[in-house]
Structure 1
Amino acid sequence: MSLVEHLKELRRRLLIALVAIGVGTVLGYLWYDVSILGTPSLGDILKEPYCQLPPESRFGGSDGECRLLATSPFEMFMLRLKVGFMVGLVLSAPVWLGQIWGFITPGLKKNEKRWTRSFASIATLLFAFGAVLAYFVLSFGLEFLLTIGDNAQIAALNGTEYFSFALALLFIFGVSFEVPLITAMLNIVGILPYQVLKEKRRIIIMVLFLFAAFITPGQDPVSMVILAVSLCLMMEIATQFARVNDRRRAKKAGLSPDAFFTDDLDDEEGSHISAAAPLGSDGGLESPTPVAPTRPVNASRKERIRDDSGRAPGEGTGYGNSYGSGDLDDIL
């Protein structure tokens, strides 16, 4: 295909993806306030963590109602449209991901297609798992944030603030759970070996806790600790995956895994190779390369350059091994 044909195909696939997102947004907008097939409405699902707070911690909660405030005429409409768009992206994901896949597939090899398909499937599952975990964490984070000063104040959240907080937490948890997958993929392509992950394990744990402290929208300790601990556990799984993968790679290459992994050593202890290791055996050191046979050294230039008398330059001139002026002229 020419460049113009590629651009036309890209335009066609973008239009299909946008139409799918638009249809998904309409469905999400309708689902926000309507129960479908006996399931709760989308607004009730997202509002449930807030409704789990004690009644005295919610504005107007003394009569048992659970509602959010609206402080502008168009706030409810824009909020419903925003939530519907987010849901539309999720509902239409198979379509626009399929269009992306269809556009890049002709440029991939067979093994690259297999790895890309596996990567996309695992990434989707990890994102969904992180979002579900964030949904259950949301109620604990809200309870801490909204009851920390309830003796002097009462929380009165509007819909925009609450849903922005909830959707940001869901999105951050989902994206953060992709970090271990990226680590495993870097190990598969040979960029990030297991030994580096092992040596930097403490630094990685510290960075993950700092990342969780800054990335959580409410900066509450509950969400931060749960996110950090979850990431540390998943990073440890990715580290062990890198260990198994590097051992498999070394075995496939006919190398000894013990030459690459020093699990029985301390962090500051260097590894060594045993002097008694059999040479030339599988997993051992290779046999030394024999020295090439000697070759006769060519005659020096001094011996090859002779004057008409058959003497080498400098012979009989009193200069020993030095060249005479006439001989030097002949050489030049």
Structure 2
Amino acid sequence: MPLTEHLRELRNRLAVSVGAILAVTIVGLFFAKDIMDFLSDPLPICPEDSNTLNGERCAMLTQDGLTSPFATYFKVSLLVGVIVSSPIWLHQAWAFIAPGLHKNEKKYSRAVVVVGVPLFLTGAYFAYWLLPRAIPVLLGFSADEAQNLVSMDNMLDISVRLALAFGLSFELPLVLVLLNLGGIVSGKRMISWWRWMVVGIAIFAAAITPTDMMSMVALQVPVTGLYFIACGIAMLNDRRKRRRDPDAELDDDEASELDLTPSTIEPTERVSAGRGDDAGYTPRNGYDDAT
């Protein structure tokens, strides 16, 4: 296609994607309150005239200002629109990119979608499972006489940030396997990083999760396990490559091993200049060796 045709196709696919997001957002407006209740459910709500619930600290859910309820309502609906319509706009993005990919690149791209989406959803589920266990720990740092006020915007923000952080963390093994399939890093090199990776995952888990140890372990253990699974897949892939091509792992400036075993040389064949110089010479197909 010429450039103008590519731009026209991009415009059309963006229009379809935006239209799908807006359509689902409008439908999400009818369910926004139910979704807000679902997102705020991990927050322990205080009874009247009390700072504790079942012996633990609790909080009051608030929405500040006149425009805050509507803004949160629309924000939740838009979030639903982006998530629910993701199959449509992801398909539009794939349809725009796919014609420029080779056959093996298309295969890897499909594998990324098939494996990456369940990994991301698993991480998001871990985040939602963690919230009702982490929030009481965070509220436990409050002063004895303080009344905790948590806005709906704050609950929405922490829920989305944790879901994204956990979901993207669970994509780590997929990224490592893709690097191995692309020949950028070997499985042996990946497993040699295990000490640094374990420490790095622990630091990352401590940075993005609440301050309690349980939240950190809840993220560190599965991500570390997925890292070692990715190393195992990469090492199996390297073994498969070595069977197909023993020199596949050599650098461009590295020489392969040469087979220097001497080979058997067969006896030379007698060559005659013509009929007259050798009485026992028999012409082949009526011609001598010269002709």
TM-score (norm 2): 0.79
One-letter amino acid matched to 1:3? L
SS at match of 1:157: strand
Q: What's the offset of the Cα at 1:56?
A: 8.7
Query: In the alignment, is residue 213 of structure 1 matched against residue 185 of structure 2?
Result: no
- Give the alignment of 1:85-234 within 5 angstroms: 85-149=78-142, 151-216=144-209, 218-234=210-226
Q: What's the offset of the Cα at 1:60?
A: 9.6
Instruction: For 1:131 and 1:80, locate their aligned partners in 2 and report how far apart those are by CA, in whole Å.
Output: 22
| Preserved contact between residue 24 and residue 91 of structure 1 (Cα < 8 Å) | yes
SS at match of 2:150: coil
Q: What's the offset of the Cα at 1:148?
A: 3.0
Structure 1 counterpart of 2:244, from 233, 249, 252: 252
Structure 2 counterpart of 1:287, from 251, 259, 279: 259
- Give the alignment of 1:273-312 within 5 angstroms: 286-288=258-260
2:277 aligned partner:
none
One-letter amino acid matched to 2:20? A
| Preserved contact between residue 134 and residue 212 of structure 2 (Cα < 8 Å) | yes
| Preserved contact between residue 60 and residue 148 of structure 2 (Cα < 8 Å) | no
Instruction: For 1:221 and 1:69, locate their aligned partners in 2 and report how far apart those are by CA, in whole Å.
Output: 28
| Preserved contact between residue 212 and residue 227 of structure 1 (Cα < 8 Å) | yes
Instruction: For 1:14 and 1:68, locate their aligned partners in 2 and report how far apart those are by CA, in whole Å.
Output: 38
Q: What's the offset of the Cα at 1:228?
A: 1.8
Consecutive unaligned residues of structure 2, counting only runs of 5 or more, are: 251-256, 263-291
Q: What's the offset of the Cα at 1:152?
A: 3.6
Q: How much is the aligned-residue C-alpha RMSD, in angstroms? A: 2.9
SS at match of 1:27: helix
Structure 1 residues 201-252: Cα deviation after superposition (integer angstroms, max 9, x where no partner): 1001111111222233x44433222112221111111111111111111112
Query: In the alignment, is residue 13 of structure 1 matched against residue 6 of structure 2?
Result: no
2:229 aligned partner:
237
Instruction: For 1:237 and 1:186, locate their aligned partners in 2 and report how far apart those are by CA, in whole Å.
Output: 14
Instruction: For 1:235 and 1:99, locate their aligned partners in 2 and report how far apart those are by CA, in whole Å.
Output: 31
Report sequence identity in percent: 33
| Preserved contact between residue 23 and residue 81 of structure 2 (Cα < 8 Å) | yes
Instruction: For 1:47 and 1:74, locate their aligned partners in 2 and report how far apart those are by CA, in whole Å.
Output: 19
| Residues 1:145 and 1:107: Cα distance change in structure 2 (over 3 Å) | same
| Preserved contact between residue 59 and residue 147 of structure 2 (Cα < 8 Å) | no
| Preserved contact between residue 126 and residue 174 of structure 1 (Cα < 8 Å) | yes
| Residues 1:8 and 1:248: Cα distance change in structure 2 (over 3 Å) | same
| Residues 1:182 and 1:250: Cα distance change in structure 2 (over 3 Å) | same
Q: What's the offset of the Cα at 1:151?
A: 2.9
One-letter amino acid matched to 1:8? R
Instruction: For 2:142 and 2:17, locate their aligned partners in 1 and report how far apart those are by CA, in whole Å.
Output: 47
| Preserved contact between residue 60 and residue 149 of structure 2 (Cα < 8 Å) | no
| Residues 1:54 and 1:224: Cα distance change in structure 2 (over 3 Å) | farther
Structure 1 residues 263-308: Cα deviation after superposition (integer angstroms, max 9, x where no partner): xxxxxxxxxxxxxxxxxxxxxx652277xxxxxxxxxxxxxxxxxx
| Residues 1:55 and 1:131: Cα distance change in structure 2 (over 3 Å) | farther
Consecutive unaligned residues of structure 1, counting only runs of 5 or more, are: 34-40, 260-284, 291-332
Q: What's the offset of the Cα at 1:110?
A: 1.8
Deviates more, 1:96-105 or 1:189-198: 189-198
| Preserved contact between residue 21 and residue 89 of structure 1 (Cα < 8 Å) | yes
TM-score (norm 1): 0.70
Q: What's the offset of the Cα at 1:55?
A: 5.4
- Give the alignment of 1:13-52 within 5 angstroms: 13-33=13-33, 41-51=34-44
Instruction: For 2:49 and 2:59, locate their aligned partners in 1 and report how far apart those are by CA, in whole Å.
Output: 11
1:274 aligned partner:
none
**Greater CA radius of gyration, 1 or 2?**
1
One-letter amino acid matched to 1:227? L
Q: Which has the higher contact order (CA 8 A, sep 6+)?
A: 2
| Residues 1:56 and 1:201: Cα distance change in structure 2 (over 3 Å) | farther
SS at match of 1:19: helix
